[in-house]
Amino acid sequence: MKKYKVILRGAYGAYNFGDDALLNVIYNKIVTKVEKKDIAIFGSNISYLKEHYPQSYVIDKFQSSNSKCNNLVYGGGTQFYDFGSGSRLNIDTFKLILKPSYLLKKIKSKLIQSNNLLIDYDCEQYVCVGMGPFKSLNSKVFKNALNQMKHAAFLSVRDNKSSYYLDSNSINYSKTVDLCFSKKIKTEQKYEEDSVGVILRDWDFYESEFTIENFWKNLTKIKNKNIKIITFGKDIKTKDFCKRNNIDILSWDPEKMKIDDFILDLSKFKILITSRFHGIIYSILLDRAVISLPIEPKLEQAAKELDGVISFNGECLNSLIKEVEKNYSNIISRLNVTKIKNYSVANNTLNEFLDSLK
- Label residue 172 by pLDDT band (50, 70, 90): very high
Residue 108's nearest CA partner among 67, 65, 73, 68 is 65
Question: What are phi and psi for residue 79, nearest 5 degrees?
Answer: -95, -10
| Mean pLDDT score across all residues of the chain | 90
Q: Which amino acid is at 293?
A: L
Contact (CB, 8 A) for 22 and 179? yes
92-101, 254-263, 309-318: segment of lowest average pLDDT: 92-101
Q: Tell me whether the omega of the peptide bond preceding residue 294 falls within 30 degrees of 0, making it cis.
A: no
Above 70 in pLDDT, residue 101?
no
The DSSP bridge partners found for residue 105 are none
Per residue in 59-78, pLDDT tens? Answer: 987 766 678 999 999 999 99
Residue 157's nearest CA partner among 71, 82, 83, 74 is 74
Per residue in 271-304, pLDDT tens? Answer: 999 999 999 999 999 999 999 999 999 999 999 9
Specify the pLDDT at position 105.
Answer: 46
Specify the pLDDT at position 87.
Answer: 43
Per residue in 206-248, pLDDT tens? Answer: 999 999 999 999 999 999 999 999 999 999 999 999 999 999 9
What is the C-alpha separation between 250 and 231, in angstroms, rounded? 6
Instruction: Output the pTM of the full model.
Output: 0.90
Query: What is the mean pLDDT of the segment spanning 336-355?
Result: 98
Specify the pLDDT at position 93.
Answer: 42
Above 90 in pLDDT, residue 97?
no
Residue 56's nearest CA partner among 75, 72, 73, 36 is 36
Specify the pLDDT at position 124.
Answer: 96
> Percent of the chain having pLDDT more than 90?
82
The DSSP bridge partners found for residue 296 are none
Above 50 in pLDDT, residue 167?
yes
Specify the pLDDT at position 60.
Answer: 85
23-37, 110-124, 248-262: segment of lowest average pLDDT: 110-124
DSSP string, 39-75: EEEEES-HHHHHHHSTTSEEEEGGGGGG-EEEEEEEE
Contact (CB, 8 A) for 182 and 347? yes
Query: What is the mean pLDDT of the segment spanning 155-169?
Result: 96
Specify the pLDDT at position 91.
Answer: 44
